[in-house]
Structure 1
Amino acid sequence: MFISWGFFLLVMSFLVMYFFLFVIFFNKIFIIEYILYCLLNMEMKMYFLVDWVSMLFLFVVLFVSSMVIIYSDSYMLGDNNKNYFCLMVLLFVLSMVMLIMCPNLIMIILGWDGLGLVSYLLVIYYQSKDSYNSGMITVMSNRVGDVAILLALVFLMNFGCYDMIMYNKMYLFCGVLVIIAGMTKSAQIPFSSWLPAAMAAPTPVSSLVHSSTLVTAGIYLLIRFNFLFKIGLFSEILFFFSSLTLFMAGVGANLEMDFKKIIAFSTLSQLGLIMMILSLGKVEFAFFHLLMHALFKSMLFLCAGLVIHNMSGVQDLRYLGNFFSYSPMICGCMGLASMSLFGFPFMGGFYSKDLILEYVYMSNENMIYLLLLIVSTGLTVMYCMRMMYYVVWKGIMMSLYYSVDLDKKMIFPIYMLSLTVILLGNLMSWLIFSYEELVVLSNFSKLLNLFLIVFMFLIFFILYINKIKGFSMGNIYIFLSSMWFMSFLTSYIFLFSYKKMSKYSEYDWMWMEEFGPSMLLNFMEKGSTMSQWFQNNYLNSVLLILISYVIIILIMI
């Protein structure tokens, strides 16, 4: 089942890529419209928008999904609910396809809610207490964005239509709602804590969720609503929160010891970077980095899943190490994805990330924002090297715990994604940017990214290779490693507060019982008693009815 569906999605991705080339070379846009029903002057329509943006993003989603499903056939080998898992992943992909293809807010909310519901089912797949808590945090955080979309739908009813492609200007309130929805799905501050919590799901699901589906849905929505960022207030607010998210995720990744959560923090930092450039109005840059991030992040998760699978489910970095001696090729692919993550020259992520950083340098932003961006970029290099150091080289004695299982079904998707990471960066830059983007910088600013990489390499070797201990941070460490206490606050708001509120639900159940089933039961008992009396006293009841009719007629006369 996994293999057949995986290759089906792979073939579909190539067909979509062929259609993308047709659309972009001939500069075509197709809109397929179907009217479901018409209520007064408001039409309920179903749209399918086919342009180069939707086709290219759909290609990446289908390609990554096919690789993840093929990978899952071996990863979920001993699971009794493999078919259920496969159907959930396919439903997840279907929701994302609906979100991509439909520019109508009614259709978008179907895909949007589908992503939230299926992600909850996948996060709680292992059915433990931690999984249930993580799933509840995930779904309740995303419900904030769902409510914002629903309020925007109600607001758009004033126009008599739900089509977001028909308007170039929107009211302020509706724009704020759309941005809140995008921030919740892309886990920007203050909605960041659900993204590391979603690591309770199986690793193939994490690869799909954190690369091209759930976390990218909010960014894709804001890309479609890019005219909102012509309003200066929206751009400044989003730039502020995305800068904080980028810095917070970089610091948290350097203090985390859970292998999958480090990659989750790296996803959060890249989402902050994409939101930052999107707030500056450079939609093409944001979309380009979104695509490249989907490819190398899914590859990094699949490599991590292979290591965890061979380590019998252990995710703590302190128990990993020396994997290079067992599989040099997989370690090489992991290093390739890591280098693409921090923008090593001529890797896939270099063509998008370096362009974004150079444009921000040129945009004359606030010096504090620039300092946050530079420090966060250096932290990206640091946590990538730290992760590779712990997994690939350190911990020779931990090799006793490895049970090597390098199945071809798990290796093939990693090799395919590594080819895309190497080749598609340059190719997509030629396809997406039909014009030359002029970036005017000094020599120092132009070489600043390369200096950062080299400098952070040196810092890493000083701190980790030479084992120089840092200062004890105490409570500051707890503050930084807990996402600035957001994980505690979110747990309190979404878990403990609901637990306390459930105590008061007994009163609600009493009123519902009194005015619901109990009242209906009493009414039916009295009705049956009256009916039984009429049946037993048939003649008397007929006389009573006639007398009542006569009395009514006399009163009316």
Structure 2
Amino acid sequence: MFVGVLFVYFLFFDLVQAGGSLVFDFDLSGGMGLPMSVMVYVDWASVMFSLSVLFISSSIFWYCCFYMAGEVNPERFCWLVVLFVVFMNLFIFMPSVLGMMLGWDGLGVVSFALVAYYKNRESLGAGNITVLTGRVGDACLVVLIACTVSNMSWHWFDMQYQLGIWCMMLVIVASITKSAQVPFSAWLPAAMAAPTPVSALVHSSTLVTAGVYVLFRYYPCFEGVMLVLLSFIATATMLMSGLVATLEIDLKKVVAFSTLSQLGLMVLAISASQQNAGMFHLLTHAFYKSLMFLCVGAVIYKGAGLQDARLFSGLWFKMPAVSAWLVVTCMCLSGLPFTSGFYSKHSVVEGCLFGEISQMGAWCLYLSIFLTAVYSWRLVNLMTCFHGYGVLEKYDSGKYEYWSMLLPLFCLGLVCLFVGYVLLGCFSFLNAYSFSPICVQISLLLINFIGVYVGLNKTRWEQRVKPSFSMEKSRGVVRKSLCKLVKGSWFLPQMTGNVMASVGLSLAVRMYLLIEKGWLEGWFWVRWRNWVVSLGKFLFAASHHPKVASLYFLSAGMVVVAIAVIFK
């Protein structure tokens, strides 16, 4: 993977930094009547996205030497991750609909195998929800290919001014299923049943960002009501995930809902005509979110698989390096000054405020920024303060295991600290909103620091009670109902995830019983078996006797002509 990083960097980085792009078009039509070609498109977005995927995947491979050391078949896991990275790069560099379909299907199949890696009931259920939700997006892409076949081209720049409103709707539905936007948000928290290295790769920089990348490429196709719909979906996703994360106590689910919140911010930037700022935030977010997953995974590993944040305490003295990088990721996530998240998030927020966004959307954006700071520093306080129920012992293991865990954290940590500043220096068009009014910048910083203060103090009353405390036991019907609504993700798992899995699987069982084991097979096979077998024997004999074959086709042609004359 690291060799791939060097290859892509030295081959294309100078070109894209100078503002250039390359298009390779390979003709595959041959003797077919329909023209078909595969396009490879190289620009700043594809090159930087591929570099981030390759660098993160190489760090995760290194981390797997520590985390997956006790697995029975680590080679199978590594090959699945390699296949996932290959399909992701195909998806990045081939933005035509046919090319995206190849990478899209590969991502869906391999992600199912990775999410269901542990082969228990929970993992299998999460894998089913993930793959069935992805099938909705796959079906939309197949319908889009059929609807645009008359254009004689499936390249994204040829389709900019040829898509109707229904075709644009297909692109949007396909994108929001992959990026887990409302109402298809149930699969991302469920997919946390996968191993933590899978979550660090699949759910930070690859699978969930594929939908945002599609929206980035096909942004010129959207206009009018489609952009309004996208902004509404993104705002609902940000608010839902931010509210749930402030009450969640599962470590991996807090990180999952924070990913949902940031994906909503990227989609909101694209809907506000700030697609470059959204792509900038996608790149920086991939690094610090994968680092956050690795830090959380190290804590879960040393805590014997426990994921309740209230059961950890004193992490500063037991795992100081992991704690330090966890604080760095929370600083980036909340957008504190001079971190990578500060540059990218402020570009998105200031671009949205001065772009095509309503006043209500601006208030929701400010609320989402506040909630991001609250749940980030709440997580830090839960894991580092001393008034919790600690289960971690002081970190003491072999030297090989120690460095297999720490070196990937240091590599990703150094990159996530400086990648925002480096990208701003390399690509000047990302500096479009660096000179916004001072009142806007001060208001954003003030909201961030208030959120940090609230997040650090929110856990005082949570830590004073037993770990069996549940928000549903609160006094008052209204408070109990609101907590149930928020912690239940607005009942989206019941409305989308469970329905998608149960309806899809029940329909599959019914079709199996009806066609494979039901009356249709018996009726067809019993009644028409002899006729089918006789027809097969006749065709086989006719293929060896040209005269018999010519007589057969002549009689068939006469029957067709007679039918055409009768019904003319």
Which TM-score band applies after superposition, normalised by the shorter structure?
0.7 to 0.9
Asked whether the equivalents of residues 362 and 440 of structure 1 are also in contact (C-alpha less than 8 Å), the reply is: no
Aligned residue for 2:143?
Answer: 151
Distance 1:149 1:435, change over 3 A: closer
Determine which of 89, 93, 98 is the counterpart of 2:85.
93
Say which SS state the counterpart of residue 63 (structure 1) adopts: helix
Aligned residues: 521
Aligned residue for 1:307?
Answer: 299
User: Which ranges in structure 1 are unaligned for 5 or more consecutive residues?
Assistant: 1-8, 529-557
Give the partner amino acid of 1:190. P
Aligned-partner Cα distance in 2 for 1:261–1:393: 20
Asked whether the equivalents of residues 277 and 347 of structure 2 are also in contact (C-alpha less than 8 Å), the reply is: yes
Q: Given the alignment of the two structures, is residue 189 of structure 1 paired with residue 195 of structure 2, yes or no?
A: no
User: Which ranges in structure 2 are unaligned for 5 or more consecutive residues?
Assistant: 466-470, 537-568
Distance 1:40 1:400, change over 3 A: closer
Distance 1:397 1:258, change over 3 A: closer
Say which SS state the counterpart of residue 447 (structure 1) adopts: helix
Asked whether the equivalents of residues 142 and 184 of structure 1 are also in contact (C-alpha less than 8 Å), the reply is: yes
Q: Deviations over 1:292-321 (max 9, x none)?
A: 000000000011111111111111112222
Aligned residue for 1:511?
Answer: 519
Q: CA deviation at 1:391?
A: 1.5
Say which SS state the counterpart of residue 70 (structure 2) adopts: coil
Distance 1:435 1:295, change over 3 A: closer
Say which SS state the counterpart of residue 48 (structure 1) adopts: strand
Asked whether the equivalents of residues 61 and 212 of structure 1 are also in contact (C-alpha less than 8 Å), the reply is: yes
Determine which of 476, 480, 485 is the counterpart of 2:486.
480
Aligned-partner Cα distance in 2 for 1:379–1:497: 35
Q: Deviations over 1:92-146 (max 9, x none)?
A: 0011000001122112101001001110111110011111111111111111111
Aligned residue for 2:542?
Answer: none
Give the partner amino acid of 2:280. F
Give the partner amino acid of 1:476. L
Distance 1:394 1:358, change over 3 A: farther
User: For the aligned residues, what is the CA RMSD?
Assistant: 2.5
Q: Given the alignment of the two structures, is residue 413 of structure 1 paired with residue 405 of structure 2, yes or no?
A: no
Aligned residue for 2:170?
Answer: 177
Determine which of 309, 324, 341 is the counterpart of 2:316.
324
Determine which of 118, 122, 126 is the counterpart of 2:114.
122
Distance 1:364 1:76, change over 3 A: closer
Q: CA deviation at 1:364?
A: 6.9
Give the partner amino acid of 2:485. F
Aligned-partner Cα distance in 1 for 2:408–2:32: 52
Q: CA deviation at 1:500?
A: 4.4
Give the partner amino acid of 1:495. A
Give the partner amino acid of 2:41. L
More off after superposition, 373-382 vs 37-46: 37-46
Give the partner amino acid of 2:196. T
Aligned residue for 2:541?
Answer: none
Give the partner amino acid of 1:201. A
Distance 1:357 1:502, change over 3 A: closer
Distance 1:439 1:428, change over 3 A: closer
Matches within 5 A, 1:424-439: 424-434=419-429, 436-438=431-433
Aligned residue for 2:131?
Answer: 139
Q: TM-score by structure 2 length?
A: 0.86
Asked whether the equivalents of residues 184 and 497 of structure 2 are also in contact (C-alpha less than 8 Å), the reply is: no
Aligned residue for 1:50?
Answer: 42
Aligned-partner Cα distance in 2 for 1:32–1:225: 19
Aligned-partner Cα distance in 1 for 2:148–2:535: 48
Aligned-partner Cα distance in 1 for 2:314–2:96: 51
Q: CA deviation at 1:493?
A: 1.2
Determine which of 194, 213, 219 is the counterpart of 2:212.
219
Aligned residue for 2:385?
Answer: 393
Aligned residue for 1:534?
Answer: none
Asked whether the equivalents of residues 253 and 262 of structure 1 are also in contact (C-alpha less than 8 Å), the reply is: yes
Distance 1:372 1:525, change over 3 A: closer
Q: Given the alignment of the two structures, is residue 464 of structure 1 paired with residue 459 of structure 2, yes or no?
A: yes
Q: Given the alignment of the two structures, is residue 203 of structure 1 paired with residue 196 of structure 2, yes or no?
A: yes
Aligned residue for 1:77?
Answer: 69
Asked whether the equivalents of residues 20 and 56 of structure 1 are also in contact (C-alpha less than 8 Å), the reply is: no
Q: Deviations over 1:474-510 (max 9, x none)?
A: 1221111111000112243123334544564433331
Determine which of 432, 441, 448 is the counterpart of 1:453.
448
Q: CA deviation at 1:513?
A: 2.6
Say which SS state the counterpart of residue 37 (structure 2) adopts: strand
- Percent sequence identity over matched residues? 32
Aligned-partner Cα distance in 1 for 2:531–2:356: 74
More off after superposition, 402-411 vs 372-381: 402-411
More off after superposition, 216-225 vs 11-20: 11-20
